[in-house]
Amino acid sequence: MPMFVDTSPPGQCIFCRLIKGEIPAARVFEDDETLAFMDIGPVTPGHVLVVSKRHAANLFELSADEAAAVMRTAHKVAHAVREAFDPPGLTLLQANGRAGNQTVFHFHMHIVPRHADDGIALSWPRQEPGRDVLEAYAARIRQRLA
């Protein structure tokens, strides 16, 4: 089954329409900068999405304040999900770009309650490049941070 990919123009994407109330949603929490709502195709009971209200396709288009607002909402909602569903684990997931498996190009974060044998697989091929290579990678990042 092909994965849904929303390629609508900014301001007309499915999340923008949902924020404007043009599409119904099971809203969980809302403030001036964010909206949290139930995922229409939940992986587990209690699966919630947190979106920035301003359209930003990905993390790189958000301001630092907007990113902080999304994390504040995710933190608040994650606590409520834990109290409501008592999952033994929880995953926060945020993807950027097609190569990152982003399917709706409006910044959002998934709050996914986790259970043993829930069918979710988050794995990647581990690489061990060695300390010198890791130090070189760190230096490249530090240079950009300076």
Inside any domain, residue 6: no
Going by DSSP bridges, is the β-strand pair 27-30/89-93 parallel, antiparallel, or unpaired? unpaired
Verify whether residue 108 is a known catalytic residue: yes
Alpha-carbon dihedral sign for residues 85, 88, 93, 98: negative
Question: Is the predicted pLDDT of residue 2 greater than 50, yes or no?
Answer: no
Range of the domain at 43: 14-145
Query: Out of 47, 55, 106, 108, which one is annotated catalytic?
Result: 108
Inside any domain, residue 7: no
Q: Number of folded domains in the chain?
A: 1
Question: Is the predicted pLDDT of residue 1 greater than 60, yes or no?
Answer: no
What is the rounded distance in angstroms from the CA atom of residue 47 to the CA atom of residue 37? 9
21 with 14: CB under 8 angstroms? no
Summary mean pLDDT of the chain: 94
Question: Is the predicted pLDDT of residue 106 greater than 70, yes or no?
Answer: yes
Inside any domain, residue 133: yes
pLDDT digits (tens, 9 = 90+) for 47-76: 999 999 999 999 999 999 999 999 999 999
- Domain harbouring 122, CATH code: 3.30.428.10
Inside any domain, residue 132: yes
Inside any domain, residue 48: yes
Largest CA distance in the chain: 53
Q: What is the pLDDT of residue 122?
A: 83
Inside any domain, residue 103: yes
